[in-house]
Amino acid sequence: VAARGALDLPTKVTSWDQFKRTFGDEPVPGFQLWYAVRGFFQNGGTVCYVVRASNGSYTHIELQNRANSPAFLVSARQVGAVKLTLQVSAAHLVDATSLYRPQATLSSHDGRELTVQSEGGSQTAEVVAARFRPGDVVTVGTLGERLDVVKVSGDKVRLAREPQNTYGNGNSLRLADATAGTRVFRLELDPNLNGQEVLFPGTILTIVQGTSTITRIVESVFPEHLPTIAKPTYRVTLRRGSDVTFDLDPGGALASVVSEEFDVRVTMDGASTPLVFAGLGFDAAHPRFYQKVLNEAADVPITFEPIEPAALGILPGSLPADITVLVDGSGPQNGVLGEPETLVDLLPQDFIDALDTLEPIDDVNLVACPDDTSDTMQQAMIAHCELMADRFAILDSRVGAPPYGANSVELHRQSVVSPRGYAALYYPWLKVPPLGPGAPILVPPSGHVCGVIARSDAGRGVHKAPANEIFAGALGVERVLSDSDHGQLNLQGVNVTRVFGGVGRPTLFGARTTASDLNWLHVSTRRLFLYIEESLAEGIRWAIFEPNNLQLWKKLKRSISEFLVRVWRDGGLFGATREEAFYVRIDEDLNPFSEQALGRLHIEIGLRPTYPAEFIVVHIGIWPGGSEIVE
């Protein structure tokens, strides 16, 4: 639970300052996320994903694109019944612009060189020749021969090859027509735009000449700075070539060029003037890309998201259509009015909905929920980790819970069993400094624990038990435990934080899972296997669709063995030799012809973790379209 930030949307956070900018400078009274994230970064955490759970909703409206299809979702950033007036209108930063169509008159032709004439006054022969640039495709007279320009020097235009025809004094030189497939165009902008930055990579341009029309995205822009030319000219390269021909004869019809941007105006309920966001681009390369301008700035009151990525090749129809609408939920065309957030009525399902949004994120390897310690939520966390099989749940005990008896952590432990050790329970709560002055406050330990584990992973590796570690940022514990209490709780799989002598710094002194299968008794064992299994699954993906023969088996065995040797040398596996630490088996007993005929390949890997010192066998199966790991 946070003071602000997107609802039910995983947000990658890489610093404490970023968290405060995104989710609020102060904690929400009665909730612990703020302190948990602070504890994570204080203890060595570097990257986390934060999901804001809520029972509120945003005012929102679906907008159509110019092709009259639902394409955008505009939402208020503030949760609750927020009313606003929204105006979206087309804009054209580049307007009154056309394709540049220079021409010159030849005075002579010698081999690959064309010499041009002066036009009098300031238009000397050198100035006239400078209208053409290396890379241009030109034509002379009416014969239609297309010639590539490689150099312009003085009054001479040098060609890539000698023309097939001879051109004499008085012949006209111009740009050849831009045929289908052309990506490079020269534009002649409105002189009123001279000095203004209106054309960028990512700009969408529409070029129209008669019935010929294209809309394309600009890949690169080069200002040409031609001498004594009143209108500024630019050479632009499009991402995709034209599929029509444009006539570049100066005597023909103009080929007009406009850019496709849009403006957004937002007037919040009660405000007298709108907030204006002008000249927004539609492509991510544009410096004013609409999602960056509207969604990444915390002071913008709305977000503007595509409902789904715009299909390529349908510009400008995929741009937002013009609209002015009061978003107040008063009718079908007026969007949906948001629901206020009532934190006292939050249910475990609200947190479970937030948890589910983490499923697609492969980077996640620890999961914590400091704001809900109910059995329902923690069992959902365990189920989530067991389903994903690449992450581990850090469970908080409940504030005020005694070690034994009614409402105790002992009873709590019995309700959060993960048979194969995908979770660990931590007790008791920690005392930490409040935001401002005052006595220490109690917070759940999960944020601090996640930071300690991240620090241990980075310094020692996942095989090192994340225990006997001092909590930074903690002043004490809710309950000081005796050696006897510690021993009893440790045997039951409750990880205790101790303050030795009653005055020391809080130290994490437990690393057991809530497993019923003793093979997975230790946090380090489970997390080592998660690391190995995910690494192997990714590392052998190349083998899918390879011929299932002995050569493939040998390659896989060698590749897997090389990886496991590194794990063994780092201390993750037990044994004086690699043979004592692991084995890899791929043979015909595991892969009879019947399985090969089905496109399946089975691999058996035996691993001897540092503790317990016995083999745990992992079976890996791969086949076209997927893979499976069974322990």
Domain presence at residue 24 = no
pLDDT on residue 614: 37
Of the residues 259, 280, 310, which one is the last residue of a structural domain? Answer: 259
Q: What mean pLDDT do residues 86-99 have?
A: 95
Indicate whether 223 pLDDT > 80. Answer: yes
Mean pLDDT of the chain: 93
Contact 185, 207 (CB under 8 A): yes
CATH code assigned at 620: 3.10.450
Domain presence at residue 298 = yes
Q: Which of 499, 597, 24 is nearest to 298 (CA)?
A: 24
3-state SS assignment for residue 246:
strand
Contact 523, 392 (CB under 8 A): yes
Contact 201, 134 (CB under 8 A): no
Q: Say whether both 423 and 505 belong to one domain.
A: yes
Indicate whether 305 pLDDT > 80. Answer: yes
State the number of CA atoms in the 13 A half-sphere of 66 facing the CB. 14
Contact 528, 458 (CB under 8 A): no
Q: Say whether both 489 and 553 belong to one domain.
A: no
Token pair 């819970």 in the structure block, residue: 401
Task: Please tell me what DSSP assigns to residue 512.
Answer: B
Q: How does residue 631 score in pLDDT terms, banded at 50, 70 and 90?
A: low
| pLDDT: which is higher, 405 or 545 | 405
pLDDT on residue 192: 75
Task: Return phi, psi of residue 623, to 5°.
Answer: -160, 165
Q: How does residue 620 score in pLDDT terms, banded at 50, 70 and 90?
A: low
Domain presence at residue 557 = yes
- Provide Rg for the chain, Cα atoms: 34
Q: Which of 62, 11, 97 is nearest to 306 (CA)?
A: 62
Q: Say whether both 483 and 362 belong to one domain.
A: yes
Q: For residue range 162-193, what is the model confidence (pLDDT) as tens digits?
A: 999 999 899 999 999 999 999 999 999 887 77
Share of the chain above pLDDT 70, in %: 95
Indicate whether 356 pLDDT > 60. Answer: yes
Q: For residue range 49-71, what is the model confidence (pLDDT) as tens digits?
A: 999 999 999 999 999 999 999 99
Contact 311, 319 (CB under 8 A): no
pLDDT on residue 227: 72
CATH code assigned at 478: 3.40.50
Domain presence at residue 338 = no
Of the residues 259, 282, 307, which one is the last residue of a structural domain? Answer: 259
Say how many C-beta atoms besides its own lie within 10 A of residue 444's C-beta: 29
Lowest-pLDDT range of 14-23, 24-33, 611-620:
611-620
Indicate whether 195 pLDDT > 70. Answer: no
pLDDT on residue 613: 38
Q: Say whether both 274 and 366 belong to one domain.
A: no
Using a 10 angstrom Cβ sphere, with 0-12 exposed, 13-18 middle and 19 or more buried, the burial of residue 111 is: exposed
Task: Please tell me what DSSP assigns to residue 255.
Answer: -
Q: Say whether both 400 and 266 belong to one domain.
A: no
Indicate whether 611 pLDDT > 90. Answer: no
Indicate whether 337 pLDDT > 80. Answer: yes
Q: Say whether both 390 and 354 belong to one domain.
A: yes
Domain presence at residue 30 = no
Domain presence at residue 105 = yes
pLDDT on residue 33: 98
Q: Say whether both 78 and 178 belong to one domain.
A: no
3-state SS assignment for residue 565:
helix
Cα 17 to Cα 26, 46, 450, 453, 598, distances in angstroms: 12, 12, 18, 21, 53
Which residues constitute the domain of residue 386? 343-524
pTM here is: 0.76
Q: For residue range 421-433, what is the model confidence (pLDDT) as tens digits?
A: 999 999 999 999 9
Domain presence at residue 596 = yes
Q: How does residue 612 score in pLDDT terms, banded at 50, 70 and 90?
A: very low
Q: How many whole angstroms separate alpha carbon 470 and alpha carbon 476? A: 11
Q: What mean pLDDT do residues 344-354 have?
A: 97
Indicate whether 494 pLDDT > 90. Answer: yes
Q: Where are the alpha helices (DSSP H) in 460-492?
A: 483-491
Q: How does residue 357 score in pLDDT terms, banded at 50, 70 and 90?
A: very high
Q: For residue range 359-401, what is the model confidence (pLDDT) as tens digits?
A: 999 999 999 999 999 999 999 999 999 999 999 999 999 999 9
State the number of CA atoms in the 13 A half-sphere of 464 facing the CB. 15
Indicate whether 473 pLDDT > 70. Answer: yes
Indicate whether 616 pLDDT > 60. Answer: no
The token pair that represents 337 in the structure block: 């009015």
Q: Say whether both 255 and 268 belong to one domain.
A: no
Q: Say whether both 385 and 494 belong to one domain.
A: yes
Indicate whether 615 pLDDT > 60. Answer: no
Q: Say whether both 549 and 618 belong to one domain.
A: yes
Of the residues 283, 301, 327, which one is the last residue of a structural domain? Answer: 327
Q: Say whether both 87 and 110 belong to one domain.
A: no
Domain presence at residue 437 = yes
Tally of domains in the chain: 4
Q: Say whether both 121 and 169 belong to one domain.
A: yes
